[in-house]
Amino acid sequence: MRVSRLIGAGNLGIGGRPKIDRGLREFIRRMSRENPLWGAPRIHGELLMLGFDVAQSTVSKYMVQRQEPPSQTWKTFLRNHAEAIAAIDMCVVPTLTFDLLFAFLVLGHGRRQLLWFEVTRHPTAMWLARQVTEAFPWISAPTYLLRDNDGAYGQAFTHRVTAMGIRDRPTSPGSPWQNGHVERLIGTIRRECLDHVLITGIRHLR
């Protein structure tokens, strides 16, 4: 008897979540179409402020489903702005006498071209700032500069980059993949050269 009552209630639409009004469904679809950057949480919040008591999952169910993302992907952004992006990094090289040298590399994203390199024993912020000036004449500086969070990039470096009109873009801590092009260049230099040569000094490495 109890089972038959439950089945009957389900058939009558009494059990479970009630269906929402057709007008509200169309309103959700309209909000979704006219605001392509809005997700279900934003539309749900707008509906609550308008006095509609509806669940966020229901809003998501009736939103317009798009085949393409509302904005360009990260890969598309890099491809569209490659000519305006440069990346820098330092490669640590031990010498025959167990000294440590630092090779500073500048890579242009447009053609994956090595634009500048220099070698030093002590990569200070002032020295790095001077290398950026040498790599990019003031009229041809890139729009974006990708780099890691090495402590050597101090205030002298960041001030020089800002003065040249370059947007400094440090990567997230522990995320070398965000600067993958120059990381791959360093890997190539190691595998094809440095792993087979004993470096004797700055002049030899340069």
Using a 10 angstrom Cβ sphere, with 0-12 exposed, 13-18 middle and 19 or more buried, the burial of residue 142 is buried
- Tell me the residue range of the domain where 81 lies: 76-205
**Residues 50 and 80 both lie in one domain:** no
**Residues 26 and 82 both lie in one domain:** no
pLDDT, one tens digit per residue, over 77-132 is 777 888 899 999 999 999 999 999 999 999 999 888 999 999 999 999 999 999 99
**Residues 96 and 27 both lie in one domain:** no
**Residues 14 and 37 both lie in one domain:** yes
Q: What is the mean pLDDT of the chain?
A: 86
Q: Which CATH number is 179's domain given?
A: 3.30.420.10
**Residues 57 and 88 both lie in one domain:** no
List C-alpha distances in Å: 180 to 99, 183, 202: 27, 5, 26
